[in-house]
Structure 1
Amino acid sequence: MKKILLTFIVLISLVNTLSAQKLYSFLDVGEPVNKYPAVTWLKGSGITQFEKDKIYVVELWATWCKPCIKSMPHMSELATKFKDKITFIAQDVWEEDTTKVRQFISNNASFFTNSMVAFDGVQNKGDFDRNWLKPSGTFGIPRTFLIRNNTIAWITFPFELTEEHLQLLLEGKLTKENATAIVQKNKQ
Structure 2
Amino acid sequence: MPLKERLIGDPAAEIRVQTFLKGEPITTLAKGRVYVVVFWPIWCDPCKAAIPHFTALQDRYPEVSIIGVAVDWTDLGKIVAFVRDHGDAIGYRNAADLPSSPDERLGAMNRTWCQAAYNIAIPTAFIFDREGRTAWVGHPWKCDGPLAAVVEGRWDLAAAREKQEAVLQRDKVREL
Settle same-fold status: TM greater than 0.5: yes
Deviation at 1:171? Answer: 2.1
SS of the residue 1:129 aligns to: helix
| Counterpart contact for 2:13–2:113, Cα < 8 Å | no
Deviation at 1:34? Answer: 5.7
Alignment pair present for 1:75 and 2:54: yes
**Aligned alpha-carbon RMSD (Å):** 2.2
Alignment pair present for 1:144 and 2:125: yes
Structure 1: 5+ residue stretches without partners: 1-19, 181-188
Cα distance in 1 for residues equivalent to 2:106 and 2:50:
26
| Counterpart contact for 1:154–1:175, Cα < 8 Å | no
Q: Among all aligned residue pairs of Structure 1 and Structure 2, give the percentage whose two residues are the same amino acid.
A: 25
Alignment pair present for 1:117 and 2:94: yes
Count of aligned residue pairs for this structure pair: 155
Of 69, 73, 78 in structure 2, the residue corresponding to residue 95 of structure 1 is 73
Structure having the higher helix fraction is 1
Look up the match of 1:48.
Answer: 27
TM-score (normalizing by structure 1): 0.74
Deviation at 1:125? Answer: 4.6
Q: Tell which structure's C-alpha radius of gyration is larger.
A: 1
SS of the residue 2:24 aligns to: coil
Look up the match of 2:108.
Answer: 127
Cα distance in 2 for residues equivalent to 1:54 and 1:34:
16
| Letter aligned with residue 114 of structure 2 | L
| Letter aligned with residue 8 of structure 2 | V
TM-score (normalizing by structure 2): 0.79
Cα distance in 2 for residues equivalent to 1:139 and 1:168:
25
